[in-house]
Amino acid sequence: MADGTPGNLAGRVVVVTGGTRGIGRATSDLLAQAGAVVVVTGRDEVRVKTVAAELSEANGVPVTGVAFDVADFDAVGAAFKAIAAQHGRIDGLVANAGILDDALIGMIRPGLVERLLATNVAGTIATVQAAARVMMRKGSGSIVVLASIVGENGGVGQTAYAASKAAVATVARSAAKELGPRGIRVNAVAPGLIDTEMIAHLPKTLVEERITDTALRRLGDPADVARVIRFLISDEARFVTGQVLGVDGGLVL
């Protein structure tokens, strides 16, 4: 419930793309706990509606679901117009939707690069653009995009993915400069190794090596990232913009 919850967001309308799994779902849950009117999005309409209903019941606040593909600019624009029409405003955006596809340099296929850039980069830009257009009407808003420590430090077999996430961090910095005078803050979080479905394909030995290299000696939990996102969306971060905050347990020091 909203009372006494850190970063009280009672009545704020916040859209979370890729909000049905992992970090996105954890973020949607924490925002709903803080009293936000959360709009969960994803590509699978059935899953989107199911998750929205589960979060509504768990938190006692209305959570709605809208299905669209962030890589489709027209679909993004139409979805945000519909959300704004339904709720009358959009106060926050968590541009979390993204995909991971690893390949060594010698094995990178053109289709892999195009797919990563379409979802992770173009999709982020499309959602930031659509949300900002609504936020500018009232002169305020907070946007958080999902970068990655891989975008800062690179990773073996992750050249294309790292490039896409480095671009996302730059989207945050550029958009912050452009939208700041309009009262809109834009920040990014850069998660480290987080215990989600996206790392399920990694060899156990590699995961153990990464944990050993992490100062806190553990994997991150989706809620660890979600708490930082909630802070950035809230007024507690009202003088924070254009930042890329690492949430990696000390993997990058």
Active site members: 161
Tokens at residue 121, please?
Answer: 């980069």
In whole angstroms, how far apart are CA 208 and each of 120, 144, 157, 214, 219? 27, 29, 17, 10, 9
| CA–CA separation, 222 and 159 (whole Å) | 24
The H-or-E segment that residue 135 falls in is helix 123-135
At 127, which amino acid appears?
T
* Contact (Cβ atoms closer than 8 angstroms) between residue 41 and residue 72: no
Supply the angle between the helices 159-179 and 123-135 in degrees, to the nearest 10: 20
Alpha-carbon span 144 to 156, nearest angstrom? 27
Phi, then psi, of 227 in degrees rounded to 5: -65, -35
Q: Are 75 and 43 in contact (CB under 8 A)?
A: no
In sequence order, the 6+-apart residues with CB closer than 8 A to the CB of 218 are: 211, 249
